[in-house]
């Protein structure tokens, strides 16, 4: 009886041994593909910014607004003197304060307006992975979605421009807030309430 069962036991053992490495190889392939998507996403965001020595597109207005905040001692002006048009400070001010604080000098603020949108735009890539994993059923779907988000121009062009000083922060906090909102409703845990409130605020 023992002899008759031996071949079956060996076959089961062999199938388990053969199956585990294949699963591990599949997981590793997905990890490499995800890393590739994130790397490509950083590169396509970095190259346009690195090729220019001034914030892209609408950077002059946002530079002027950050500079004015610094000049008035971090108070929030009601309007900006850009082009003498009396444009209201109607944008979310966090990006301006960040650029004014990090930059310090006019030259530093200019560099901050140029690079902060890029840095935040790159941080949106891992934030997107967290959001995708919350909504999608498989890691392969997450990888495919991340490739799309990383490489579709509409996902990042308006983020890395000078105006991305405010857009990028708003988009990053929105993605992280959605991630936490999903966790709040899926897990029904109070520990997600505070992060959700902070990110949405």
- Which stretch of 7-11, 35-39, 81-85, 145-149 has the lowest confidence by average pLDDT? 7-11
pLDDT in tens, 47-99: 999 999 899 888 889 999 999 999 999 988 889 888 888 888 888 899 999 99
Q: Which of 51, 61, 104, 50 has the alpha carbon at shortest distance from 86?
A: 61
Question: Using H for helix, E for strand and C for coil, what is the string for the chain?
Answer: CHHHHHHHHHHHHHHHHHHHHHHHHHHHHHHHHHHHHHHHHHHHHHHHHHCCCCCCCCHHHHHHHHHHHHHCCCCCCCEECHHHCCEECCCCCHHHHHHHHHHCCHHHHHHHHHHHHHHHHHHHHHHHHHHHHHHCCCHHHHHHHHHHHHHCHHHCHHHHCCCHHHHHHHHHHHHHHHHHHHHHHHHCCHHHHHHHHHHHC
Question: pTM of the predicted model, to two decimals?
Answer: 0.84
pLDDT in tens, 142-162: 999 999 999 999 999 999 998
Mean pLDDT of 120-135: 97
Separation of alpha carbons 34 and 130, rounded Å:
12
Q: Is 44 exposed, middle or buried (0-12, 13-18, 19+ CB in 10 A)?
A: middle
Question: Is 190 a residue whose pLDDT tops 70?
Answer: yes
């Amino acid at each position: 009886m023992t002899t008759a069962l031996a071949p079956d036991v060996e076959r089961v053992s062999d199938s388990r041994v053969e199956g585990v490495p294949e699963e591990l190889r599949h997981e590793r392939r997905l990890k490499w593909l995800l890393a590739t998507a994130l790397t490509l996403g950083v590169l396509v965001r970095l190259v346009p910014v690195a090729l220019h020595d001034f914030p892209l597109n609408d950077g002059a207005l946002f530079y002027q607004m950050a500079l004015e905040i610094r000049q008035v001692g971090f108070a929030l002006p009601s309007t900006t003197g850009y082009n003498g048009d009396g444009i209201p400070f109607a944008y979310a001010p966090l990006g301006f304060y960040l650029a004014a604080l990090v930059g310090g000098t006019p030259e530093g603020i200019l560099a901050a307006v140029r690079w902060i949108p890029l840095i935040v735009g790159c941080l949106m890539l891992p934030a997107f992975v967290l959001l995708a994993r919350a909504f999608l059923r498989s890691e392969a779907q997450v990888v495919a979605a991340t490739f799309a988000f990383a490489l579709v121009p509409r996902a990042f062009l308006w983020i890395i421009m000078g105006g991305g000083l405010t857009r990028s922060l708003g988009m990053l906090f929105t993605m992280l807030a959605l991630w936490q909102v999903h966790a709040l409703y899926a897990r029904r845990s109070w520990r997600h309430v505070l992060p959700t409130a902070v990110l949405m605020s």
